[in-house]
Amino acid sequence: MVWTLAYIVMYVDGKITGTFLKSNDSEEIEGGQWTFDRQYYIIHNQSVGDDNWNTPMLNAVYETEIDWIKVYQ
């Protein structure tokens, strides 16, 4: 991910998968178009279940592996 004051570009395996540009319109920014100028927390979670939120597959094994996390400050 490349994160600047004006845009964010996301990559997967070296290929651009998403681009988010900061608007020059102050009304859009005040309305929440660019919320990336404040502190955030890293959250890692895993959702389980099927088409209905309250019926997880109880006999399945749920595992998440994270190789690395890169944090910019």
> pLDDT digit string (tens) for 34-73?
888 888 888 888 776 666 666 666 777 778 888 888 877 6
Of the candidates 8, 73, 10, the one whose C-alpha atom is nearest the C-alpha of residue 35 is 8
Domains of the chain by residue range = 1-37
The two tokens of residue 2 are: 């490349």
- Cα-Cα-Cα-Cα torsion 37, 40, 2, 16, nearest 10 degrees, comes to -110
- Cα-Cα-Cα-Cα torsion 15, 17, 22, 27, nearest 10 degrees, comes to 170
pLDDT exceeds 90 at position 16: yes
Is-above-0.85 flag for pTM?
no
Please answer whether residues 69 and 42 qualify as being in contact, where contact means their C-beta atoms are separated by less than 8 angstroms: yes
Please answer whether residues 58 and 50 qualify as being in contact, where contact means their C-beta atoms are separated by less than 8 angstroms: no
pLDDT at position 50 is 63
